[in-house]
């Protein structure tokens, strides 16, 4: 699958680098990302501070590392939550059809009808700020997209002979759904997960940029973007490095998703 698949190769390389930075950022950064230093304000990128420093003299590279960690964590949890619920809802509706399908899919439609940012906004105004509430809000907003994909796959596989034979051997519905059908849908679900991760990165960035997502002392890429724009003229490296990191993150996962989709053809 990897051989000759350029998208997958480059995608893996980029996401690999970003992932290493994210994991590293959890434990170690070159400088303390929140330590201010009035002697080193607005320093341009140099060997000492490779991404330069900001208005408080904080090391931008350290902050970017921390920011990737937070963004990564939020996106991962969002995708995990959306996918877990989405798979269960999709499996139930696709497999059983009928009234279960009607009810759950109408709820799904209702959730889809709200723009995800608006939905997240409502959630956060109810639950308050903080990264865990961002995860919860985005997770709920992401459920329908997964449910829809999983549902159509389950509906397709339900009629296949291997499912019938499993049923004939007395396998329970739960076993058929999760042991027999689910592994067969991975080729469709995997790219969807990766694309979903991208959307989560963008959604988190948007929320934090609007000031309703992550709050100080937590740092996320979106939060940094909104912080850095005030100093665009004096410290352009801050906004550029942060923006470039987001682009890289999205690009890497887009290529990965594209590569996975090509791999299954």
Q: How far is the CB of 190 from other proteins (least distance, A)?
A: 13
Q: Per rule CB under 8 A, is residue 162 in the interface with other proteins?
A: yes
For residue 77, which of 243, 214, 225 has the smallest C-alpha distance?
214
Phi and psi at residue 170, to the nearest 5°: 95, 10
Among 50, 180, 188, 251, binds other proteins (CB under 8 A): 180
Do the beta carbons of residue 67 and residue 218 sit within 8 Å? no
Q: Per rule CB under 8 A, is residue 164 in the interface with other proteins?
A: yes
Q: By C-beta, is 184 or 262 nearer to other proteins? A: 184
Burial of 174 (0-12, 13-18, 19+ CB in 10 A): exposed
For residue 84, which of 133, 6, 136, 157 has the smallest C-alpha distance?
136
Q: Per rule CB under 8 A, is residue 184 in the interface with other proteins?
A: yes
Q: How far is the CB of 170 from other proteins (least distance, A)?
A: 4
Q: How far is the CB of 130 from other proteins (least distance, A)?
A: 40
Quick one: which segment of 9-17, 45-53, 114-122, 177-185 binds other proteins (CB under 8 A)?
177-185
Among 4, 98, 128, 217, binds other proteins (CB under 8 A): 98
DSSP secondary-structure letter at 234? Answer: T
Contacts with other proteins by CB under 8 A: the residue count is 18
C-alpha 240/C-alpha 8 separation (Å) is: 27
Do the beta carbons of residue 71 and residue 204 sit within 8 Å? yes
* Residues at the contact surface with other proteins, assessed by CB under 8 A: 98, 160-162, 164-172, 175, 180, 183-184, 186
């Amino acid at each position: 699958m990897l051989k000759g698949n350029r998208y997958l190769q480059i995608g893996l390389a980029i996401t690999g680098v970003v992932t290493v930075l994210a994991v590293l950022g959890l434990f170690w950064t070159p400088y303390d990302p929140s330590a201010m230093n009035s002697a080193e304000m607005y320093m341009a990128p140099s060997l000492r501070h490779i991404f330069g420093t900001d208005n408080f003299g904080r090391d931008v590279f350290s902050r970017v590392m921390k920011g990737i960690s937070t963004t990564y964590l939020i996106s991962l949890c969002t995708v995990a939550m959306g996918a877990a619920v989405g798979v269960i809802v999709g499996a139930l509706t696709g497999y059983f059809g009928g009234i279960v399908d009607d009810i759950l899919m109408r709820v799904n439609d209702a959730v889809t009808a709200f723009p995800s940012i608006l939905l997240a906004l409502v959630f956060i105004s109810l639950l308050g700020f903080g990264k865990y509430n961002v995860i919860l809000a985005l997770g709920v907003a992401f459920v329908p997209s997964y449910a829809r994909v999983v549902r159509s796959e389950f509906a397709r596989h339900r009629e296949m002979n291997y499912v019938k034979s499993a049923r004939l051997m007395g396998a329970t519905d739960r076993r058929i759904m999760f042991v027999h059908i689910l592994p067969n849908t991975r080729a469709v679900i995997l790219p969807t997960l990766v694309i979903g991760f991208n959307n989560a990165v963008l959604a988190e960035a948007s929320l934090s940029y609007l000031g309703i997502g992550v709050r100080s002392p937590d740092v996320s890429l979106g939060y940094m973007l909104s912080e850095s724009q005030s100093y665009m003229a004096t410290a352009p490296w801050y906004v550029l490095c942060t923006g470039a990191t987001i682009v890289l993150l999205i690009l890497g996962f887009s290529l990965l998703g594209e590569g996975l989709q090509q791999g299954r053809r």
